[in-house]
């Protein structure tokens, strides 16, 4: 350390530091123009000149490059220094009178007009650009010429190849003098951000996207200048903890594993292969992924909806569906990408939310495929409530409107009329495809793929690939949306888990945790740690001052400041400090507890302290970031925040975390395919399972189904499944049984059932609800009145039985959406389109001359089911579209059924004479209110159970320990049911495998003495944590089950008598904080 005087104050700097660096540390402002912390100081502008007294004489030196030495006296504020600086600014202003930077400086120095001859330059010759270029290892530009002729230039004044176009020069230029295009021959363009679909640039060091895991920046070697020239390495200098290592190499890591799960995802179809949409030519034709980024708050336009060509807000946007899907051109795909209809609607609605209702959104589509849970409702709302326009037409060409950036589209409506419309933007709803890398991987692994390039799986084993031990999930298995991907992910994990269950916990290591110190009765001994967060906090808040201030607060025994409190070495030091100083409460003033609280709590635990003896206060997000321009006030605020945290933490006490044993038995309600698969999966992992089935036999709806869409024989597979369940020693089947009573909660359920005359009781840790649905019995189209009118299941039964009457049929009609997508049942039943087509093909195969009609509203053969649709059309099945307002009319003639329908092509009614009418009737849930009550699980309007989270928790309930699969969730085909059954089991295993769970200590607690027994808490709690005490002196008052409590605080805030308190946020603690404000 070097001690010297700075403006009369004694200060300290490090050996080798320059005056400027020390002055900046002490908050003394010295103006600079040619200084940049990444570069060796050059002392060119001389603006930072200060006076140095060495004991004999005073010298004028530039503070940027004058090293500090012991005993020197520096003055930065003398009259001579000020006068000199002012004159320098005046001289530079004369040189560059129009440069804003200098105008501003001149204003600061009170210069109105330079007294000198004015020039018209805009370069102040600070040399930052040339020095940084040299630092980049390149020196493509340098200061050429001498004296007044000096300028920044390339060799021989020509653009060079040597310039890498890195832009470092332009980025450091303070006046905007540097024009890259004068320097380089390379095209100047930012590095396109992969995440922002190239709409935005990114840096060579970048975090791929905000939620990336690991959330650490990476260096793009193909773009980093260091890897091209060997120069730069500035990042390594700037990194306060020395985390950057340019010598790292890619490694080949060999792992021994028992199972592999493939989740390589998809890539969006690239429409630039397609001339007709002019995607590569016209900037306002964007893909849906690009549009997503434009809508995103973190996207290239900060969520402001503008078009890319001129950044104007669009008034009219068109979505073109099926780009790269349902097409047979050489660059296209025959399958349906499953997700595009829904995302287009979502984008249209969000676009309207961004830009206002008068934004005109039009979706051009072929069939609207909103077959997911709640999707149809969303579609209806988009159309009717948000005013999104839907036009059924596949648009073939997008053209630019000459002289503008607008786009023109021509299309034909159902009525045959040609329209031409102009839009500001066109969004291409691009489909999903498997990337070539994944295809290569599949080949390496020897996996069987479908013709469309997806992994081939069987309906009864939807995540098993053709190679044993290799599982697949997500879009590589077939185009699908998030919920289905998440279901499959869990399913694949279950399959892998079943394979490896014998090895469970053999590689895990128990963490050694020191015994928790009992601090009851101890006087608070608080440790305060203040974080610089590199420069995030330290550059604004005077961290040492906050630290010193904390020392003055009551009960504070220890203070420290850290560059990065979250780094591993700091954590280790903290552990030592806590032990050595016998601290019993800790405050960390740093960033957000949301991300870092668990880390510090772990440190407390490692030091033998209860993790709740901790308070974190956010002096970054809530202080240094928002008060950048007022460092003094920010420092004061940081002190306030620390003071509040200290006052609160002093009142904190050790909170216990209730531990709960988990009963290892599982119960599955429902013995259909889903229930059986769930039970089988649990059993495969070694758990005992009880199946409760209401019917006398297992099998559910599948008993009446003929073939899967892939052509597999359902009865055969079902039989094998039922037999394997029957053989399974882990599984107890209770048929003809009904639950009568359920008690308990996660880990400890006690269920009672009635089967005939017998009554049984099961104690189980978790529950899977797989109660399924049933087929709607129509009341229209002569159903039940004429024997020739059948539902799907009835028709399938005939197929299964090989009914001879089918052979006589010459014409058959299918009517879709019977009972579905109707006002009383507005959801799509998802499976019927495929089912009808599959049956139609069956007829056609048996008798190619048979007339087969499918009357539909939209054909929703999503994914590779689309191939069936194509096959059916090729086989001559006739598809006639009708609308809800003009449904077909069925009348019974003597020898046939007469079905009249308005033909959408001919625009006139046609009459079909059929021998058989198959109705694609809806799938209806049981709406079992009692069951919902037993497990406290919610049910939707339609009667389907509501999962914990539509996207991220599709196979579980918000209620812990209760899981969901199959059609009880939503109508779905067998493959999806099997996947979800496995997923539900997989989720259940995450609980069962732990044997016991500890719950959060920050839970509500009731003081029965104050309770008024009003019961509001019982009503309001979403987790059923409060209950009335049954016995004893406080019977009838509330108590909280800490195991069920999630610490949300709803009950606490609703308790009128003040009987409830949330541990860790107790009233006394909050008031103590408020009092300190």
How many other C-beta atoms can be found within 10 angstroms of the C-beta atom of residue 1006? Answer: 23
Spell 703-719 as b/e; 16+ CB within 10 A means b.
Answer: bbbbbbbbeeebbebbe
Q: How many CB atoms lie within 10 A of CB 457?
A: 25
Q: What does each C-alpha distance from 653 to 618, 656, 897 come to in angstroms?
A: 21, 10, 79
Q: Does 91 bind other proteins (CB under 8 A)?
A: yes
Q: Per rule CB under 8 A, is residue 137 in the interface with other proteins?
A: no
Q: Which of 11, 36, 72, 95 binds other proteins (CB under 8 A)?
A: 95
Q: CA 218 to CA 209: how far, in whole Å?
A: 11
Stretch that binds other proteins, among 39-47, 359-367, 503-511, 755-763 (CB under 8 A): 39-47
Residues 189 and 181: beta-carbon distance below 8 Å? no
3-class DSSP assignment, residue 45: coil
Considering the rule CB under 8 A, would residue 92 count as an interface residue with other proteins?
A: yes
Query: Strand (E) positions, 720-804?
Result: 731-734, 737-745, 748-755, 758-764, 766-769, 773-775, 789-791
Lookup: tokens for 746: 């996660």
Residues 23, 61, 426, 1004: which binds other proteins (CB under 8 A)? 61
Least distance in Å: CB of 146 to other proteins? 5
Contacts of 626-631 with CB under 8 Å at 24 or more apart are 627/540, 628/540, 631/27, 631/540, 631/541, 631/542
141 belongs to the binding site for other proteins (CB under 8 A): no
- Least distance between other proteins and beta carbon 46 (Å): 5
Q: Tell me if 105 contacts other proteins by CB under 8 A.
A: no
Of 60 and 238, nearer to other proteins (C-beta) is 60
Cα 869 to Cα 860: distance, rounded to the nearest angstrom: 9
Helix (H) or strand (E) holding 50: strand 49-53
101 binds other proteins (CB under 8 A): no
What are the beta bridge partners of residue 769? 669, 964
**Touching other proteins, residues 772-811 (CB under 8 A):** none
Stretch that binds other proteins, among 82-90, 261-269, 298-306, 699-707 (CB under 8 A): 82-90
71 binds other proteins (CB under 8 A): no
The answer to whether residue 62 forms part of the interface with other proteins (CB under 8 A) is yes
**Based on CB atoms, which residue is closest to other proteins, 93 or 692?**
93
Confirm if 574 and 596 have CB atoms less than 8 A apart: no
With binding defined as CB under 8 A, does residue 83 bind other proteins? yes
117 is a site residue for other proteins (CB under 8 A): yes
* DSSP annotation of 109: T
Backbone angles phi, psi at 388, to 5 degrees: -75, 135
Q: Does 42 bind other proteins (CB under 8 A)?
A: yes
CB 127 to other proteins: min, Å = 7
SS3 sequence, 6-44? ECCEEEEECCCCEHHHHHHHCCCCCCCCCCCCCCCCCCC
- If DSSP codes are grouped into helix, strand and coil, which group holds residue 984? helix
**CA-closest candidate to residue 335, choices 975, 872, 831, 865:** 865
Instruction: Write down the least CB distance from residue 351 to other proteins, Å.
Output: 53
Decide: 1001 and 1040 in contact? Cβ < 8 Å.
no
Nearer to other proteins, 20 or 833 (CB): 20
Interface with other proteins, residue 1021, by CB under 8 A: no
- HSE value, Cβ hemisphere, 13 Å, CA-based, for 791: 19
Please identify, among the stretches 58-66, 281-289, 311-319, 341-349, the one whose residues bind other proteins according to the rule CB under 8 A: 58-66
Tell the burial category of 356 from Cβ atoms under 10 Å away from its Cβ (0-12, 13-18, 19+).
Answer: exposed
Asked if 150 interacts with other proteins (CB under 8 A), we say: yes
Indicate whether 60 belongs to the interface with other proteins (CB under 8 A): yes
The smaller minimum CB distance to other proteins, of residues 143 and 461, is found at 143
Among 17, 142, 748, 1000, binds other proteins (CB under 8 A): 142
> By CB under 8 A, is residue 355 in contact with other proteins?
no
Say whether residue 43 binds other proteins (CB under 8 A). yes
| Region from 63-71, 216-224, 752-760, 927-935 binding other proteins, contact rule CB under 8 A | 63-71
| Selection from 833, 1022, 1017 nearest residue 946 by Cα | 1022
Residue 115 interacts with other proteins (CB under 8 A)? yes
> Of the candidates 2, 143, 239, 445, which one interacts with other proteins according to CB under 8 A?
143
The residues in 922-961 that bind other proteins, with binding defined as CB under 8 A, are: none
Residue with token string 């001994």 = 525
- 87 contacts other proteins (rule: CB under 8 A): yes
Q: Which stretch binds other proteins (CB under 8 A): 77-85, 185-193, 428-436, 515-523?
A: 77-85
Q: Per CB under 8 A, does 125 bind other proteins? A: yes
Q: Least distance in Å: CB of 165 to other proteins?
A: 24
Q: Strand pairing of 614-618 and 585-590?
A: parallel
Q: Does 149 bind other proteins (CB under 8 A)?
A: yes
Task: Kindly list the distances between the CA atom of residue 317 and the CA atoms of 357, 405, 423, 630, in Å, as whole numbers in the listed order.
Answer: 13, 13, 6, 44
How far, CA to CA in Å, does 43 sit from each of 18, 27, 33, 46, 485? Answer: 12, 21, 10, 6, 60
Residue choice 44, 455, 833, 1059 for contact with other proteins (CB under 8 A): 44
Q: Does 106 bind other proteins (CB under 8 A)?
A: no
CB of 238 to other proteins, least distance (A): 24
Q: Does 84 bind other proteins (CB under 8 A)?
A: yes
Q: How far is the CB of 159 from other proteins (least distance, A)?
A: 21
Nearer to other proteins, 141 or 285 (CB): 141
Binding piece for other proteins, criterion CB under 8 A, among 92-100, 198-206, 464-472, 661-669: 92-100
Q: Which two tokens stand for residue 881?
A: 């579209």
Contact 443, 449 (CB under 8 A): no
The residue from 6, 20, 30, 49 that contacts other proteins (CB under 8 A) is 49
Q: Could you say which of 9, 14, 70, 80 contacts other proteins (CB under 8 A)? A: 80
| Cβ–Cβ < 8 Å for 908, 780 | no
Does residue 288 belong to the site contacting other proteins (CB under 8 A)? no
DSSP codes joined into one string, 620-644? IIIIITTTTT-HHHHHHHHHHHHHH
Q: Does the footprint of other proteins cover residue 94 (CB under 8 A)? A: yes
Compare residues 48 and 344 and give the one whose CB is closer to other proteins.
48
In the complex, minimum distance from the CB of residue 136 to other proteins, in angstroms, rounded to a whole number: 17
- Of the residues 12, 65, 740, 1024, which one makes contact with other proteins according to CB under 8 A: 65
Interacting span for other proteins (CB under 8 A) from 109-117, 220-228, 605-613, 702-710: 109-117
Report if residue 55 touches other proteins, rule: CB under 8 A.
Answer: no
Question: Which residue, 49 or 624, has its beta carbon nearer to other proteins?
Answer: 49
The answer to the question of residue 88 lying near other proteins (CB under 8 A) is yes
Binder of other proteins out of 146, 311, 385, 520 (CB under 8 A)? 146
157 lies in the binding site for other proteins (CB under 8 A): no
We find the least distance from the C-beta atom of residue 10 to other proteins, in angstroms, to be 22
Applying CB under 8 A, the site for other proteins has a residue count of 36
Residue 2 forms beta bridges with which residues? 13
In whole angstroms, what is the distance from residue 172 CA to residue 589 CA? 34
Pick the closer one to other proteins by CB: 118 or 949: 118
C-alpha–C-alpha distance, residues 138 and 232, integer Å: 9
Verify binding: residue 67, other proteins, rule CB under 8 A.
Answer: yes
Strand residues in 850-1002 grouped as ranges (E): 851-856, 878-881, 889-892, 897-903, 908-914, 916-921, 923-925, 962-964, 996-998
Give exposure, 542-581, as e/b (b: 16+ Cβ within 10 Å): bbeebbebbeebeebbbbbbbebbbeeebbebbbebbeee
Q: Which residues bind other proteins (CB under 8 A)?
A: 42-47, 49, 60-62, 65-67, 80, 83-84, 87-88, 91-92, 94-95, 115-117, 124-125, 127, 142-143, 145-150
């Amino acid at each position: 350390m070097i001690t010297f005087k700075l403006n009369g104050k004694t200060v300290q700097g490090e050996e080798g530091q320059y005056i400027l660096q020390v002055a900046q540390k002490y908050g003394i402002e010295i103006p600079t123009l040619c200084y940049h912390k990444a570069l060796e100081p050059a002392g060119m502008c001389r603006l930072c000149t200060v006076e140095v007294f060495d004991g004999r004489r005073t010298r004028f030196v530039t503070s940027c490059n004058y090293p500090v030495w012991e005993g020197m006296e520096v003055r930065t504020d003398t009259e001579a220094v000020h006068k000199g600086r002012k004159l320098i600014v005046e001289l530079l202003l004369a040189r560059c009178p129009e440069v804003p930077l200098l105008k501003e400086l001149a204003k600061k120095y009170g210069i109105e007009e330079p007294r000198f001859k004015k020039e018209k330059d805009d370069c102040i010759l600070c040399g930052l650009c040339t020095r940084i270029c040299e630092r980049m290892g390149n020196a493509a530009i340098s200061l050429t010429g001498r004296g007044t002729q000096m300028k920044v230039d390339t060799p021989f004044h020509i653009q060079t190849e040597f310039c890498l176009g890195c832009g470092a020069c332009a980025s450091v230029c303070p006046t905007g003098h540097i024009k890259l295009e004068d320097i380089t021959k390379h095209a100047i363009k930012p590095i396109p951000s992969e995440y922002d679909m190239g709409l935005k640039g990114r840096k060579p060091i970048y975090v791929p996207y905000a939620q990336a895991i690991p959330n650490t920046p990476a260096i793009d070697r193909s773009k980093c200048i260091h890897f091209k020239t060997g120069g730069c390495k500035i990042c390594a200098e700037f990194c306060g903890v020395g985390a950057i290592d340019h010598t790292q190499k890619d490694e080949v890591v060999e792992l021994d594993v028992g199972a592999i799960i493939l989740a390589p995802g998809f890539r969006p179809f690239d429409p630039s292969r397609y001339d007709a949409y002019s995607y590569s030519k016209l900037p306002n034709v964007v893909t849906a992924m690009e549009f997503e980024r434009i809508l995103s708050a973190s996207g290239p336009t900060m969520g402001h909806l503008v078009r890319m060509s001129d950044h104007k807000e669009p008034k009219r946007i068109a979505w073109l569906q099926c780009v790269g899907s349902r097409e047979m051109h050489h660059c296209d795909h025959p399958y349906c990408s499953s997700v595009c209809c829904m995302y287009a609607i979502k984008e249209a609605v969000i676009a309207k939310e961004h830009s206002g209702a008068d934004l005109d959104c039009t979706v051009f589509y072929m069939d609207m495929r909103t077959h997911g849970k709640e999707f149809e409702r969303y579609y209806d709302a988009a159309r009717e409530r948000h005013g999104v326009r839907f036009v059924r037409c596949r648009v073939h060409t997008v053209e630019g409107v000459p002289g503008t950036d607008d786009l023109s589209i021509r299309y034909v409506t159902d009525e045959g009329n040609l329209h031409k419309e102009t839009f500001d933007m066109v969004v291409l709803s691009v489909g999903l495809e498997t990337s070539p890398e994944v295809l290569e991987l599949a080949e390496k692994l020897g996996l069987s793929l479908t013709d469309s390039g997806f992994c081939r799986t069987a309906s009864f084993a939807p995540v098993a690939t053709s190679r044993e031990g290799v599982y697949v999930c997500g879009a590589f298995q077939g185009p699908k949306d998030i919920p289905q991907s998440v279901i499959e992910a869990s399913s694949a994990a279950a399959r892998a888990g079943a394979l490896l269950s014998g090895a469970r916990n053999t590689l895990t290591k128990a963490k050694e945790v020191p015994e928790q110190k009992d601090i009851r009765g101890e006087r608070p001994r608080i440790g305060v740690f203040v974080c610089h967060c590199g420069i995030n906090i330290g550059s604004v808040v005077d961290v040492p001052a906050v630290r010193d201030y904390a020392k003055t607060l009551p009960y504070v025994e220890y203070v420290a400041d850290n560059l990065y409190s979250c780094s591993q070495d700091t954590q280790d030091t903290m552990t030592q400090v806590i032990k050595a100083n016998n601290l019993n409460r800790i405050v960390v003033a740093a960033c957000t507890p949301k991300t870092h609280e668990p880390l510090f709590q772990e440190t407390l635990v490692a030091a033998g302290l209860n993790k709740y003896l901790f308070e974190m206060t956010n002096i970054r997000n809530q202080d240094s970031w928002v008060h950048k321009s007022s460092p003094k006030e920010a420092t004061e605020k940081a002190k306030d925040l620390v003071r509040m945290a200290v006052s609160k933490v002093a009142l904190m006490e050790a909170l216990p975390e209730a531990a709960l044993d988990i009963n290892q038995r599982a119960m599955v309600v429902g013995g259909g395919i889903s229930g059986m698969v769930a039970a089988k999966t649990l059993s495969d992992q070694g758990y005992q399972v009880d199946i409760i089935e209401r019917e006398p036999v297992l099998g559910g709806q599948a008993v009446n189904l003929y073939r899967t869409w892939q052509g597999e024989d359902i009865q055969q597979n079902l039989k094998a499944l039922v037999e394997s369940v029957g053989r399974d020693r882990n599984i107890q089947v209770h048929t003809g049984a009904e639950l009568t009573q359920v008690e308990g909660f996660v880990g400890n359920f006690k269920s009672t059932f009635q089967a005939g005359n017998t009554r049984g009781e099961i104690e189980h840790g978790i529950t899977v609800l797989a109660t399924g649905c049933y087929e709607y019995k129509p009341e229209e189209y002569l159903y039940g009145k004429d024997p020739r009118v059948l539902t799907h299941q009835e028709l399938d039964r005939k197929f299964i039985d090989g009914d001879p009457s089918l052979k006589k049929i010459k014409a058959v009609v299918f009517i879709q959406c019977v009972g579905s997508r109707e006002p009383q049942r507005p959801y799509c039943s998802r499976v019927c389109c495929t089912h009808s087509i599959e049956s139609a093909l069956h007829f056609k195969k048996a008798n190619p001359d048979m007339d087969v009609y499918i009357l539909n509203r939209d054909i929703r053969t999503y994914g590779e089911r689309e191939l069936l649709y194509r096959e059916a059309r090729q086989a001559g099945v006739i598809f006639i579209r009708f609308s809800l307002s003009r449904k077909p009319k069925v009348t019974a003639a003597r020898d046939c059924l007469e079905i009249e329908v308005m033909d959408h092509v001919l625009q006139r009614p046609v009459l079909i004479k059929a021998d058989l009418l198959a109705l694609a009737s809806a799938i209806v849930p049981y709406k079992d209110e009692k069951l919902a009550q037993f497990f406290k699980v919610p049910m939707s309007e339609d009667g389907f159970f509501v999962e914990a989270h539509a996207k991220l928790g599709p196979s579980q309930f918000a209620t812990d320990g209760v899981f969901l699969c199959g059609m009880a969730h939503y109508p779905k085909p067998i493959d999806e049911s099997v996947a979800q059954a496995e997923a539900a089991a997989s989720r259940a295993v995450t609980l069962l495998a732990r044997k016991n769970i500890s719950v959060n200590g920050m839970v509500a607690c009731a003081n029965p003495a104050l309770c008024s027994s009003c019961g509001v808490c019982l009503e309001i709690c979403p987790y059923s944590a409060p209950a009335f005490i049954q016995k004893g002196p406080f019977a009838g008052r509330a108590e909280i089950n800490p195991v069920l409590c999630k610490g949300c605080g709803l009950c606490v805030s609703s308790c009128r008598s003040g009987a409830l308190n949330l541990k860790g946020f107790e009233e006394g603690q909050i008031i103590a904080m408020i009092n300190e404000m």
